[in-house]
Structure 1
Amino acid sequence: MIIYVPNLIRKLDKMLDLWTKMSKAVGFDGLTYIYQSAAAAYDDSWDKSGFDYGIEMNPQYINLLCKSNEPQRIPFSVIKTVRFVKRMFHIKRSIAPFMYKHKNVRRLDYDVCWGNIISHKPVTDKMIPCAFTDWDNTPRHRMNGYLYDGVSVEKFQYYFRKLLLKAQKEYPTDMVFVFAWNEWAEGGYLEPDERNGYALLQSVKDALMEYK
């Protein structure tokens, strides 16, 4: 049984131990834990030993790695400090409007991002590769958001096939994560729509059937 933990929580090690104990009490052999935060993968301030896998949550994961394609202009260390201060003073309001001052929505290149994903080498033997169909978080962040130009079903199909071959050769797991099923607020989804129908899902099926 797999437990997918989307965000880090306090006293995480105790929670994982408790969940494992509870799962065994009802007859399971145990639990497999996976974290997905792109920033968490590069953050060495927390203990990842309780997790079996980490997801290369793209496109954020590769953007944090490849500075030339980096939409996150604020250093990660500054973001961590701000989060600490917000927790200390119980500040709930977002400070994004003060950290970002963009006159235009940032537009990145879909092919460049995917090229970085395909050329990237896994940093540990616990990472799961990740494909992304699209990304556009302007519905959430408006002018502070960013999106990708050059997106198409055909390109996703092409790159997804390359990622499957890469996973077979370079990763110790047979899993590939896809962002996402229905993340409409960030423009990433496999769910059928009026524009593409079932084409994205068909792309995934065809590639899996081809490479077994």
Structure 2
Amino acid sequence: LDEVLQSGAPDFPFCLCWANENWTRRWDGCEEDILIAQSHTEADHAGFIAEIAPALLDPRYVRIHGKPLVIVYRLGQLPDPRRTADLWREYCVKTGVGEIYLAYVQSFERMPMGDDPSLYGFDAAIEFPPHRYPVQAELSQPLINPEYQGVLFDYVQTSENFIRRTWPSYKLFKGVMPSWDNTARRQDVSHVFVGATPERYAYWLRQVVEQTRRLHFGDERVVFINAWNEWAEGNHLEPDREFGHRYLEATQNGLGIRVVRDPQKE
């Protein structure tokens, strides 16, 4: 991040999401095999906003209604989310950053008072597939690996769950994911979403984009894709040997941008 800020490259919009959990050997920050622990004191929270303040002033930084977008991954880890939000807002106003736009990720934990971000001093919530609405797959044939103790999910039905989700009264930014298979990380206890294809991903993205265009306006027409390079989770847009650039092309299609293939590469 320091290099990006100092060099001014790449000339590409960005924003920051605080992964405020323990750094562990697991992707989800659970209390197993902790490498670096995350504490949550008021001093920690003050230090965080002070550290990212230079990024919030960068002209490339994503803004909503002119306010830099700051995202918190696990709101439930904050002892007093509203106090933290007030602390950050006050600091940013005093130091010249100005008003900030706070959003939290709807990950695997549920908030005690409900999902409405305003209850916690935040402005919006963000979907984070596959969390919250996964659908387990129904197997039509036995597994090849008798040692497998993981869980298979249905990508198509999961995407339909997210698409058909009732739109809440609070501000929500929709999310999609291209695929998910963390066998590389978890081996025989992995989670795999079967049925994921670039075409199905493009359909999911297209539906979400249309919903967002219909219900949001201006800077709030935002959609999140999980993820660019989560290779250990089998969840990435970057080209690979199996699909080449098809997930990137599917992203273009999902956004309504026509893809013209090079006939020499067909």
**Same-fold call, TM > 0.5?**
yes
8 Å contact from structure 2 (residues 81, 120) kept in 1: no
Q: 1:13 maps to which residue?
A: 82
8 Å contact from structure 1 (residues 125, 171) kept in 2: no
RMSD of the alignment, in Å? 2.7
Q: 2:164 maps to which residue?
A: 119
Change (3 A) 1:171 1:121: farther
Query: Larger RCO: Structure 1 or Structure 2 (Cα < 8 Å, ≥ 6 residues apart)?
Result: 1
TM-score, reference length from structure 1: 0.70
Q: 1:139 maps to which residue?
A: 184
Alignment of 1:84-103 (within 5 A): 103=148
1:37 corresponds to which of 87, 106, 117: 106
TM-score, reference length from structure 2: 0.57
Aligned-residue offset at 1:31: 1.0
Aligned-residue offset at 1:204: 1.9
Please list the CA deviations of residues 60-84 of structure 1 after superposition, one character each: whole Å capped at 9, or x if unmatched: 1213xxxxx259xxxxxxxxxxxxx
Alignment of 1:1-212 (within 5 A): 1-8=68-75, 9-40=78-109, 42-45=110-113, 48-63=119-134, 69=135, 103-170=148-215, 173-210=220-257
Structure 1's unaligned 5+ residue stretches are: 64-68, 72-101
Which has the higher Rg, Structure 1 or Structure 2? Answer: 2
Higher helix share: 1
8 Å contact from structure 2 (residues 136, 154) kept in 1: no
Aligned-residue offset at 1:134: 0.7
Identity %: 25
Work out the CA distance in 2 between the residues paired with 1:43 and 1:133.
27
Change (3 A) 1:177 1:16: same
